[in-house]
Structure 1
Amino acid sequence: MTFQFILEFAWVFIQIAIGYNLVLPFFLLLLYAIIGNRKRVIQSEKKEADYAIIVTAYEQTTLIPSVVASLLKLNYSNYLIYIVADKCDVSGLHFEDERVIVLRPEHTLSSNTRSHFYAIERFKRPHERLTIIDSDNLVDPDYLLALNEYFDLGYKAVQGVRDAKNLDTLYAALDGARDIYYHFYDGKVLFNVGSSATLSGSGMAFTTSLYKECLGRLDITGAGFDKVLQKEIVGRGNRIAFSEHAIVYDEKTSKSDQLVNQRARWINTWFRYFKFGFGITASGILRLNWNQFLFGLILLRPPLFIFLLLGLFCLLLNLILNPFAALLWVLGYVIFIGGFMMSLIMSNTNPKIYKSLWGIPKFIFYQVMSLMSVRSANKRSVATKHFHADKKTE
């Protein structure tokens, strides 16, 4: 075995490891088209399950009144709202509704899971289920009813849709496009082909017992608690359901510096936790578990802009080394772009998002800047600063 052979083999392996990310969504879409949406819609006559709605805030409480107003309009009666105001001034947070409990930790927590368990340890009653909402979210009135459809089918974890609340800037619209892509492939398609939806940080719900079982002994700091949580859930043999009608309206990044700071934390999170994919994929192979195998492959996938840029590098290099391979890369990009557009077309996308697609290179540029800041990501604020003027709920 010559050194040249080893080098050529390594080059082919690297290209496959990068290139399969371009075509995997297309093959998942084909499988989804064959299998179809297999969710059984049931008419549940069960008593309303008891929910704890945990709203986490760090440093900012400006949007909390709108969040609470939205939650109090839910078409549901059996729930309490726990606001964990970490490192916040709560002097202006006064709610007449007894279903709203404001918690102000004595010491700074600086952690999503610490905030969650701070609330859990102070539950007013033993809630059967909990759902996590960010301080910048609004919720659809049927949010809990949509979650119940999947809990009543036996699932213990459900991810909803984080729809865009603001599309007023180029960055917000592109951020919305990215979310649509991930919700479609990592949510709807992935779940309907027999695997699990990936968790998105908010707009997700669990049985309280499962959440405590998965994270009760762990102290997770920095961004990425959802990555640890999904690994624990799928590793235990559970599937995470996806509910396209459980909608939360999420604040999208509207400024370039906001985008850089947020993506630096997210990229740092991927580098910290992508290793989970190896173990889950291996477990899926050993146990012949399709859910774990496919979910593990998804966890190994780099952020979109990283594999797109790496693929472009391979394409350009192959123009010199191997024109046929370059042609394959071009084909891969055509398939990826087609799959990306299909996710938008099949998701009732706002026209503002289509109009923003010309700005994708600019969006990628700022994410490259985020990559340069990834080492110091967790030293930045643990919460994204929002500048969008929130609209009061009617």
Structure 2
Amino acid sequence: MEVLLALWVVFQILTGFNLVLPLLLYILRFFQQKDFTETVIPKAYDYAIIVTAYEQTTLLPSVVDSILKLNYKNYLVYVVADKCDISNLHFNDERVVLLRPEETLASNTKSHFYAINRFERPHDYLTIIDSDNLVDPEYLNELNQFFARGFIAVQGVRAAKNLNTSYACLDEAGDMYYRYIDRKLLFDNGSSASLAGSGMAFSTPFYRECLELLHIEGAGFDKVLQMEILNRGQRIAFAEKAIVYDEKTSKSGQLVNQRARWINTWFKYAGKGLKLAGSGLKDFNKNQFLCGLVFSRPPLFIVVGLSGFCMMVDLFVFPYQLFYWLFAVLAFFFIFFIALRHFKAPKIIYQSLVRIPVFIFYQILSLLKAKKANQISTATQHYYESKIDDVETPGN
């Protein structure tokens, strides 16, 4: 009986640690040496901007138009239209290269390397953009600030381009929370920002080294790439002002299918995160240790559900344990609202928070579909179309 009680206490501590860890990272960042202490004048590096589309081309003109408005000259755009009808796509700018694979690729990395193998010149860096993204005019200039300092992998910000439904608002609220912890706090603590699938950039040779020989099926190529980068002892920088605008989930069905793929990816790679954390602890490698902890962390709705269950049991079994849960919950809310304030969340996001229980319910449905997530189409259905001029920049 005592063993079971001890295991129960350990289980609660480990579950609650997922809520407390962000607060610890927040405190530790004040004791870290700043990354940038000197002014660096970057070069006009040559970029390949890879835009990937699968089945849908509706939003491609908008994303390409936003790219062509960049305050930068040294780049080419490679549009990979996988399994797409391109008869109505016409790009008259010589900087745009339209590619239509002969056979269906149905893979992010295959689309990336389809473009890489057809580069018209040896680009210094490549950056990956989704077909539903819009690109801030200063995007490449901001990336340059980090490449000029020696980084070979950089993650930018994927801010919301649509807040048209409560689902989209809650999606952005959650993204701000993860963006603050998984990118800003990790990077500020001398570790690596987590990759987000798009709005990220790499040295072209380094990207090829990491992924060219790997066969990746289903979602989660960014997780594989992150592990490859960390295993090579490199850091991923967080470029807070390198912004792409990303379409947030605006319908419940879209939310369920997307989260099912994400949950499936977590189950698939969480073990590798624990292994990475163990390696980092053994080798005194802070970068690997902190990233491994965050990498293996369960999705937030699972942590919240388990925490609620623990608190209900403790009401009758271990009332003193509720003090620990009070601290963990307060720590979570503190960081959550710090994140919303830091990224200047508009009022509509705060108003949407009352619908969090509904949002969690749909994520539970996603959990039930996670096992079959790879059978769900990899193409996210898009319901919102916009141009860069229609999107408010953060803080406006």
Residues 223, 180 of structure 1: alpha-carbon distance in 2 compared, 3 angstrom cutoff: same
2:23 corresponds in structure 1 to 26
What's the CA shift for 1:343? 0.8
Q: Secondary structure at the match of 1:248?
A: strand
- What amino acid maps onto 2:238 in structure 1? F
For residues 82 and 298 of structure 1, the distance between their equivalents in structure 2, rounded to whole angstroms, comes to 33
Matching of residues 108-187 of structure 1 within 5 Å: 108-187=104-183
CA contact 2:42–2:144 (8 Å) conserved in 1: no
For residues 78 and 58 of structure 1, the distance between their equivalents in structure 2, rounded to whole angstroms, comes to 27
CA contact 2:269–2:296 (8 Å) conserved in 1: no
1:366 corresponds in structure 2 to 362
For residues 182 and 301 of structure 1, the distance between their equivalents in structure 2, rounded to whole angstroms, comes to 11
Partner deviation per Cα, 1:122-172 (whole Å, 9 max, x = no partner): 111111100000000001101001001111111110000000000010000
Q: Establish whether residue 294 from structure 1 lines up as the match of residue 290 from structure 2.
A: yes
- What amino acid maps onto 1:30 in structure 2? I
Q: Secondary structure at the match of 2:81?
A: strand
Partner deviation per Cα, 1:178-226 (whole Å, 9 max, x = no partner): 1111111111111011100000000000001111111111111111000
- What amino acid maps onto 1:288 in structure 2? F
CA contact 2:135–2:388 (8 Å) conserved in 1: no
Q: Secondary structure at the match of 1:109?
A: coil
For residues 94 and 390 of structure 1, the distance between their equivalents in structure 2, rounded to whole angstroms, comes to 19
Partner deviation per Cα, 1:85-104 (whole Å, 9 max, x = no partner): 01100111111101101111
Matching of residues 201-280 of structure 1 within 5 Å: 201-280=197-276
Which of the residues 6, 9, 22 maps onto 1:12? 9
For residues 40 and 148 of structure 1, the distance between their equivalents in structure 2, rounded to whole angstroms, comes to 16
Partner deviation per Cα, 1:23-50 (whole Å, 9 max, x = no partner): 111111111234375434634153x111
CA contact 2:40–2:149 (8 Å) conserved in 1: no
Report the identity percentage.
57
For residues 36 and 265 of structure 1, the distance between their equivalents in structure 2, rounded to whole angstroms, comes to 37
Partner deviation per Cα, 1:19-74 (whole Å, 9 max, x = no partner): 1001111111111234375434634153x111110000001000000000000011
Residues 324, 387 of structure 1: alpha-carbon distance in 2 compared, 3 angstrom cutoff: same
For residues 389 and 56 of structure 2, the distance between their equivalents in structure 1, rounded to whole angstroms, comes to 19
Q: Establish whether residue 39 from structure 1 lines up as the match of residue 39 from structure 2.
A: no
Q: Secondary structure at the match of 2:171?
A: helix
Q: Secondary structure at the match of 1:274?
A: helix
For residues 42 and 103 of structure 1, the distance between their equivalents in structure 2, rounded to whole angstroms, comes to 39
- What amino acid maps onto 1:323 in structure 2? P
CA contact 2:134–2:388 (8 Å) conserved in 1: no
Q: Secondary structure at the match of 1:315?
A: helix
What's the CA shift for 1:389? 3.2
1:328 corresponds in structure 2 to 324
2:57 corresponds in structure 1 to 61
Residues 217, 324 of structure 1: alpha-carbon distance in 2 compared, 3 angstrom cutoff: same
Q: Establish whether residue 376 from structure 1 lines up as the match of residue 378 from structure 2.
A: no
CA contact 1:58–1:87 (8 Å) conserved in 2: yes
Q: Establish whether residue 189 from structure 1 lines up as the match of residue 185 from structure 2.
A: yes
For residues 252 and 369 of structure 1, the distance between their equivalents in structure 2, rounded to whole angstroms, comes to 18
- What amino acid maps onto 2:126 in structure 1? L
CA contact 2:12–2:310 (8 Å) conserved in 1: yes
For residues 69 and 40 of structure 1, the distance between their equivalents in structure 2, rounded to whole angstroms, comes to 36
CA contact 2:134–2:387 (8 Å) conserved in 1: no
CA contact 2:60–2:132 (8 Å) conserved in 1: yes
- What amino acid maps onto 1:35 in structure 2? Q
Partner deviation per Cα, 1:220-271 (whole Å, 9 max, x = no partner): 1111000000011011100000000000000000000110010000110100
Structure 2 gap ranges (5+): 391-396
Q: Secondary structure at the match of 2:86?
A: coil
CA contact 1:315–1:330 (8 Å) conserved in 2: no
- What amino acid maps onto 2:60 in structure 1? I
Q: Secondary structure at the match of 1:341?
A: helix
Q: How many residues align?
A: 390
- What amino acid maps onto 2:248 in structure 1? K
For residues 73 and 178 of structure 1, the distance between their equivalents in structure 2, rounded to whole angstroms, comes to 29
Partner deviation per Cα, 1:320-347 (whole Å, 9 max, x = no partner): 1100112321221121111111111122
For residues 36 and 276 of structure 1, the distance between their equivalents in structure 2, rounded to whole angstroms, comes to 29
Structure 1 gap ranges (5+): none
Give the TM-score normalised by the residue count of structure 1: 0.96
- What amino acid maps onto 1:95 in structure 2? F
CA contact 1:42–1:149 (8 Å) conserved in 2: no
